[in-house]
């Protein structure tokens, strides 16, 4: 796999990574006559596909080069082993998939699938044949068709985006047929918004849900028509917090179901670059534990991530009157609003 083939393969990997989010877990394996994790620190595990990790993988993918002869069978075995560990309680039991990106498969894979995936076929295998050569297309197609996956031939860079997206339609079919879906809220991101005739750079979130085909003749096919969504400034969401309940020194904040801050008084996502404001690196992957230091045992964070309701009391250090620090008793009320957690904090100062 040299030249244009390697360029297409790298672009395919990066495009797949871009379809993932904080609720997904991923790893990337390079294979020749032996198996090599592109990031050795992530050996033998799946890591959260947040923005930091996705960009980290892309840097290592860019450094991949041709070496030796590709032995796909070893890579497949290693992939199945990782997913087997996930099903043993180390991760979420959702869709499991292996994306095989290759320019040809000459080996006999049946023994691998008999050992790791048949007859239940819990892991879907999607195959991407890279380049114009179709000599081994039947082998690559056989892998996908016998493991509830999808076969795609990518011959040019222009084919990558459209063909990668096909796997999403396949994974969504059971959800479409059962009409079982969630409303999804994204992580925070910076965007330019026009408010009151002025352009401002604000923290935003997007809310989205799938659109299904409900025609009787296609109902059993599980056709996903698309996604509908809208962008929402987090300032507007924060207005839902009842200010009268917070008190003079109280505040509200938002986190995602992964514990990342959407909005918080101590989150400062921008910095000044001359006259321009620019977002800081990794501003949207700041964990709640980095802002609420007093939650040393993560009791507050854990309660919010799990969607619990009720009250928690913590001793916190607060700055009042010319920056003098005092200890205060903080009462936290946790309210679960779908996938967004709003926390209301009211402080009662000790004499």
Where do we find the tokens 């796909």?
A: 72
Would you say 123 and 95 are in contact if contact means Cβ atoms under 8 Å apart?
no
Phi, psi dihedral angles at 167 (to 5 degrees): -65, -30
Q: Give the CATH architecture of domain 237-349.
A: 2-Layer Sandwich (3.30)
Strands (DSSP E) found in 131-223: 151-154, 184-185, 189-195, 198-212
Structure tokens at 96: 């499991």
Element (DSSP H or E) covering residue 11: helix 4-18
Structural domain spans, the chain: 4-178, 184-235, 237-349
- What is the CATH code for 4-178? 3.40.50.410
Contact in structure between 289 and 278 (CB atoms under 8 Å): no
The pLDDT of residue 104: 82
- Give the whole-angstrom CA distance, residue 308 versus residue 203: 26
Per DSSP bridges, beta strands 47-48 and 96-102 are unpaired
Per-residue tens of pLDDT for the chain, all 351 residues: 788 999 999 999 999 999 998 889 999 999 988 899 999 999 999 999 988 899 999 999 999 988 777 788 889 999 999 998 876 655 555 789 999 999 887 777 889 999 999 999 999 999 999 998 888 889 999 999 999 999 999 999 999 999 999 998 888 888 777 777 778 888 888 888 776 777 778 889 999 988 888 787 777 777 888 889 999 999 888 888 888 888 777 888 899 888 899 889 888 888 888 777 788 888 888 899 888 888 888 888 998 888 888 888 887 766 666 555 555 555 555 554 433 333 333 333 332
- Please answer whether residues 315 and 327 qualify as being in contact, where contact means their C-beta atoms are separated by less than 8 angstroms: yes
Q: Quick one: pLDDT at residue 339? A: 36
The answer to whether 322 touches 341, Cβ cutoff 8 Å, is no
pTM as predicted: 0.79
Output 78-82 pairs: Cβ under 8 A, ≥24 positions apart: 78/29, 78/35, 79/29, 80/112, 80/116, 80/117, 80/123, 81/44, 81/116, 82/27, 82/44, 82/45, 82/46
Backbone angles phi, psi at 57, to 5 degrees: -60, -40
């Amino acid at each position: 796999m040299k030249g244009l083939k390697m360029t297409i393969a790298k672009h395919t990997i990066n495009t797949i990574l871009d379809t993932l989010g904080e609720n997904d877990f991923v790893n990337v394996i390079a294979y020749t006559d032996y198996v090599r994790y592109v990031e050795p620190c992530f050996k033998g595990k799946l890591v959260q596909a947040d923005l930091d990790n996705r960009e980290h993988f892309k840097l290592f993918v860019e450094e991949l080069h041709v070496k030796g002869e590709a032995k796909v069978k070893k890579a497949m075995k290693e992939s199945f082993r990782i997913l087997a560990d996930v099903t043993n309680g180390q991760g979420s039991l959702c869709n499991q998939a292996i994306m095989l990106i290759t320019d040809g498969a000459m080996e006999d894979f049946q023994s691998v699938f008999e050992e790791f995936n048949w007859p239940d076929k819990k892991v879907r295998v999607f195959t991407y044949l890279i380049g114009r050569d179709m000599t081994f297309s039947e082998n690559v197609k056989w892998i996908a068709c016998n493991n509830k996956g999808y076969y795609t031939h990518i011959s040019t860079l222009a084919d990558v985006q459209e063909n990668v997206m096909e796997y999403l339609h396949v994974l969504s079919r059971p959800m479409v047929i059962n009409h079982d879906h969630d409303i999804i809220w994204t992580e925070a991101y910076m965007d330019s918004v026009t408010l009151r005739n002025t352009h401002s750079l604000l923290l935003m979130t997007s809310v989205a849900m799938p659109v299904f085909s409900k025609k009787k003749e296609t109902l059993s096919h599980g056709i996903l028509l698309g996604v509908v969504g809208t962008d929402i400034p987090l300032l507007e969401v924060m207005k839902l917090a009842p200010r009268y309940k917070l008190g003079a020194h109280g505040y509200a904040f938002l986190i995602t179901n992964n514990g990342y801050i959407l909005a918080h008084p101590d989150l400062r996502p921008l910095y000044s670059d001359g006259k321009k404001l620019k977002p800081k690196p990794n501003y949207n992957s700041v964990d709640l534990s980095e802002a609420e230091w007093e939650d040393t045992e993560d009791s507050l964070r854990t309660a919010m991530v799990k969607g619990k309701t009720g009250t928690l009391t913590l001793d916190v250090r607060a700055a009042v009157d010319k920056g003098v620090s005092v200890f205060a008793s903080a009462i936290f009320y946790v309210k679960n609003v779908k996938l967004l957690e709003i926390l209301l904090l009211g402080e009662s100062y000790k004499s």
